[in-house]
Amino acid sequence: MSSDLKTHNNKWQPATQVIHAGAAHDDPHGALTAPLYQTSTFRFSSAEQGTRRFAGEEEGYIYSRLGNPTTAELERRMASLEGYEAAAAAATGMGAIAAATMAFVRSGDHIVVSDAIYGCSFALFSELFERFGVEADFIDLNNEGLLKETLRENTRLVFLETPANPHLKVVDIEKVHAVIADLDIRLVVDNTFMTPLMQQPKRHGADIVVHSATKFLNGHGDVVAGIICGSDDDINTIKSTTLKDMGATISPHDAWLILRGLKTLDVRMQRHCENADAVYDFLAARNDIKKIYYPGAPDHEAQALMGKQMSRNGAVIAFELEGDEAKARYFLNQLRMIALAVSLGDAETLIQHPASMTHSPYTPEARLKAGISDTLIRIAVGLEAADDIIADLEQALEACRVQWQKSA
């Protein structure tokens, strides 16, 4: 990447960066859109060149698991958006989390994890890490005293999501960083729900940021992928060890699709957030909703971080219906337009039941500790007209009311 491009990236606003940052502009035919290098391997001009590249003595591509021009452009763009020196693209969000964390721990080490995270992240740290001798403590990271008490001499990293999946718990990244700033402990933050447009964890002390690029970054529901952003040294370590050797690298075509999706990230997030605010207002006005978890709610803990750590409320809402799990399931089955599906960040509004779906890897005790009830529902608000999203929710809630009146 040229020095001129790096200088411009530092001056551009995020809405410009999602379109231009990291662009190579070296296509011999002058293609405006980044070319797709759909190739598994690259030709060497000589045996000597191949030897030099494998020895790290000459820059250049070898094999797409180790690097690819399309993937490299995505990595440059994401590093620029998050404010880091470098990035690594992975085949899935969980591939990114596994590669980013496993690169810095070994048997006998200890990690500290937020008590509210995605189900598969929980399973990774509570089961797989434990199998290989890495112990994890899951705690409330907003409790600074508890964090200090939990740290050990062999603690190597702290991992958190904010806002957390599924009920939007937020963590003050800066306060967590302050506790571990003088220790040899990396702070890893999952920034999937906010995107770098609404939250940049590096500004608050995060050493590494991970994303499920499947979600808002791509935005079209046709890719599974992950992104890791960090320092040159950390990204080089991840790329040359866990990411390479586990084989969790992204395909060039998926990288190209995410580059396409990033161009509309700014305008999409504006619509996502506007729609989510409207859906929250609708839910908040109803007496058949027991509780709502949404950073935009006046009583949500996220309000203390607005303007400091977060710039918008995001587009995910969790809520609990009055009633039991059977009523929650009945409600989900009455929806007509809103898709009953896991994931988020798509153009379509998606809704799901965390306790039996995304967070089913949790034990019942862990779900209770994390506040994931059997009536909790998570809705990822899409890009449809807000009135149509609300109308579908309203008719499903009305169907519940009628059904429960009959059975009363």
Partners of 299 in the beta sheet? none
Residue 190 appears among annotated catalytic residues: yes
Q: Is 215 a catalytic residue?
A: yes
Q: Which one from 53, 65, 186, 239 is the annotated catalytic residue?
A: 65
CA dist 119 and 11 (Å) reads: 38
N residues, the chain: 408
Q: How far does CA 221 lie from the centroid of its chain?
A: 14
Tell me which of 190, 234, 254, 392 is the catalytic residue. Answer: 190
* Cβ 163 vs Cβ 119: under 8 Å: no
Give dist(CA 65, CA 79) in Å, integer: 19
Marked catalytic residue, from 76, 202, 215, 378: 215
**What's the 3-state SS for the chain?**
CCHHHHHHHHHCCHHHHHHHCCCCCCCCCCCCCCCCCCCCECCCCCHHHHHHHHCCCCCCCCECCCCCHHHHHHHHHHHHHHCCCEEEEECCHHHHHHHHHHCCCCCCCEEEEECCCCHHHHHHHHHHHHHCCCEEEEECCCCHHHHHHHCCCCEEEEEEECCCCCCCCCCCHHHHHHHHCCCCCEEEEECCCCHHHHCCHHHHCCCEEEEECCCCCCCCCCCCCEEEEECHHHHHHHHHCHHHHHCCECCHHHHHHHHHHHCCHHHHHHHHHHHHHHHHHHHHCCCCEEEEECCCCCCCHHHHHECCCECCCCCEEEEEECCCHHHHHHHHHHCCCCEECCCCCCCCCEEECHHHCCCCCCCHHHHHHHCCCCCEEEEECCCCCHHHHHHHHHHHHHHHHHHHHHHC
Q: Which of 37, 61, 84, 118 is catalytic?
A: 118
Neighbours of 283 (CB within 10 A): 20
CA distance 280 to 275: 9
**Catalytic residue numbers, as ranges:** 65, 118, 190, 215
